[in-house]
Amino acid sequence: MLGLRRVLLPGIAALVLGCALGLAVPPSGQPLSQDDITLLLLGSSPSSKIIQMVEQRGVDFSMTPDLAKKFHDQGASDDLIEALQKARTKAAESKSGVAPAAAPSPAPPVAEAAPSAPPPGAMPSSTEPVLHTHGGSAPAATPASSAASAAASAPADVGPSTEPVLHTPPKADAPVATTASANAPGLKDPDAQGIQHIIQEFAAKEKVFREARNNYTYHQINKVQELGPENQVVGTYEQEWDILYDDAGKRIEKVTYAPLNTLKGLIVTKEDLEGFRNVQPFVLTTDELPEYEINYLGHVKVDEITAFVFRIRPKQMEKDKQYFQGEVWVDDRDLQIVKSEGRQVPEAKVHHGQENLFPRFTTWREQIDGKFWFPTYTMADDTLYFSNGPPVHMKEIIRYTDYKQFKSGVRILTVESLDKQKDQNSSPPPKK
C-alpha cells in the first residue's frame, strides 16, 4: 500500500520521544526485556539497531505467537522477530552449558500472527474457511471434510461466502495456539534427505497445480479497508473480477464490480494488484525453487491434519519483481501446500518520499474437485508504519469462489496421475 505523503511536525516529537525512551533501556550488558523492546519500537528506533542490541545483549523472555503479534503491531520487522527468537535460543543454551543435539535443519519457531477480532462496526466477525481432511474425492462444499484454519476471527462483509466452515472462531481473549514452535506429540522430523525429498515433491505438485488452475475459471473479490483510531472504517477499496482464460492459457480479468475508492491514507498500487494476482495466492514450483531459500521449521498438527512447516525467503530480488516471504504448511500425506502466511516483498520508497508497504497476510487453500488445493481465502489485519506519518491500521480480504473447470487444448496431469507416472518410471523393466 502506498501511503499518502505526510509532512508532519510530530516527526520531530517522535525523535524526541525516541531519545527519551532510549534512556529507559537498561544499562549495557543486561538482557533486554519485553518492555525494553516495546519502548524501542515506540521510539521509532531502526530495526537494524534493535537487532544489533538483541544480538549483543540477548533477551530475558521467551517468544510466543502472541508476543510476536504484539511486536509486529508495534512495527517490528520479520528480521527483528527472528532475531528475538534466536536470541532466546542462545540464552537457553548458555544457561544449560550444553549445546543442543544436532537436528536436520534447526530453525527458530514460527510465531503465527493471528489477526485480532474486528471491533463492532468495522468488519463483522465470521467463521473462516477451513482445509479439507484427507478423503480422496470429497467435494469442496462438504463441511465434514474440512480442517486446519488459523485461530482468528475473519471479517466477512465482502459478500456471501461459498466456502464450507467447520467451527466458529475463538473469542478475542482466547490463547493463540503455537504453530511450529515444537513438534506435535508423536510427529517425527524427517532427516536432511527426507526434507529435500519433501521440497522437491511439493514443488513438482505446485507446478501441476498452477497448470490446473489455469484451466479453471473463478470469481475473485478484493477488498481493502482503512480503519480509524476507534477501528471504525474510514475508507474502502473494492473490486470484483471474473477470472477467465483463453485456449492458450492467457489470463483474462473482467471487472464485475468496482464502487468508488474512498481510501484516505492509503493508495492501491500496481504492486498491490500484482499481490492480489500472484503473491498472496503463493505458488512455489520446481522452476522457482532456485530463487528461494527454504528452511524446515517443524512437523505440526493443525486442527485435523498434520503438516510440515517451511520458511521461505527470496535469495535476491530482481528489479520490478514481487516475491513472497514467510511460512508455508505442507500436508504430510498429499505433500501439497495447504496454507501460507507472510508478506509481499520488497517494500520500497517511491516518488516524493512515499512508501510502498504491504501487510502480513494468511492464505488458506481448500481441495477442489477432490484433487487440487486451490486458494479460497486470504486475510490481512495489520498496521502499516510509514516513516513520514502516523501508522495506518488496515484490513484486507480476498475471496476466490466459483471454481469451474473449462475445456482447452492443454493436457493437464492430475496429482494422482503424476504419482502413478513416477511409480511406473521407478519400477524395473520386465525381464525378456
Predicted local confidence at residue 295, as pLDDT: 94
The region, left, alpha or beta by phi > 0 then psi within -120 to 50, assigned to residue 85 is: alpha
Please give the model's pTM, rounded to 2 decimal places: 0.61
Residues facing 404 on adjacent strands: 217
Predicted local confidence at residue 286, as pLDDT: 94
Predicted local confidence at residue 407, as pLDDT: 58
Dihedral (Cα; 287, 290, 292, 295), 10-degree rounding: 110
| pLDDT tens per residue across all 432 residues of the chain | 766 533 333 333 343 344 444 444 555 568 888 888 887 887 667 888 899 888 888 898 888 777 887 888 778 888 888 888 888 656 555 544 444 443 444 444 443 444 443 443 344 444 455 444 443 333 333 333 333 333 333 333 434 333 333 223 333 333 333 334 446 667 889 999 999 999 999 999 999 999 888 889 999 999 999 999 999 999 999 999 999 988 777 889 999 999 999 999 999 999 999 999 999 999 999 999 999 999 999 999 877 889 999 999 999 999 889 999 999 999 999 899 999 999 999 987 665 667 889 999 999 999 898 888 899 999 999 999 888 888 999 999 999 999 998 755 444 444 444 455 555 555 555 554
Predicted local confidence at residue 147, as pLDDT: 34
Predicted local confidence at residue 144, as pLDDT: 32
134 closest CA partner among 121, 148, 122: 148
Predicted local confidence at residue 106, as pLDDT: 41
Per-residue CA distances from 109 to 36, 83, 161, 425 (Å):
22, 11, 33, 38
Burial class of 104 by CB neighbour count within 10 A (0 to 12, 13 to 18, 19+): middle
Q: How far is CA 172 from the centre of its chain?
A: 20
Contact 74, 48 (CB under 8 A): no
